[in-house]
Amino acid sequence: MKVSLTVNGARRTVDDAGESETLLQVLRDHLGLTGTKNACEQGECGSCTVYLDGTLVCSCLVLAGQADGAEVTTVEGLSAAGAAAVQEAFVEAGAVQCGFCTPGLVMAAHDLLAHNPDPGDDDIREALAGNLCRCTGYQKIVDAVHRAASPTTTP
């Protein structure tokens, strides 16, 4: 089936998406945008997190056809959208180890800060509850979100 969508501001069309394929497969396999990761395919890990019409979603649980006509922002498009602060904070805080979960966590952190510019620890942990990281133990990630919330503060 044919699916047309706007990805990171550019109009993209996929002519041969499968009817039961997901937005994640469209992004990675058809459009080559591999920043969005594929791990659990059941909404447990958060590594495939993107914005769909401005709403944070697991792209593995969205049908390709459901995304037809939508605006999608992936981690590749965040910098242009002004999210460099979140990404830099992750690097500076040491919140990146193997890096596989990082794109999803950056998306979830970006969404949290868009709704709550000064989150507490509990807010951060609730907002990132759907993103699994098997390296860091999460504390550095929480630190990174605090850092992104107030980028001028130097420790």
Residues of this chain that interact with other proteins (CB under 8 A) are 1, 18-20, 22, 41-44, 46, 49, 55-58, 60-63, 65-66, 68, 108, 111, 126-127, 129-131
Nearer to other proteins, 19 or 153 (CB): 19
Smallest distance from other proteins to CB 68, Å: 8
Smallest distance from other proteins to CB 41, Å: 4
Smallest distance from other proteins to CB 129, Å: 3
- Contact between 38 and 28 (Cβ < 8 Å): yes
Amino acid letter for position 111: D
Choose among 80, 88, 78: nearest CA to 150. 88
Nearer to other proteins, 71 or 92 (CB): 71
DSSP β-bridge partners for residue 52: 55, 72
Both tokens of residue 7? 């990805």
Q: Quote the distance between the C-alpha of residue 117 and its chain's center.
A: 18
Nearer to other proteins, 43 or 94 (CB): 43
77 CB-near residues (< 8 Å, 6+ apart): 7, 8, 9
Smallest distance from other proteins to CB 111, Å: 7
Nearer to other proteins, 94 or 117 (CB): 117
- Contact between 23 and 52 (Cβ < 8 Å): yes
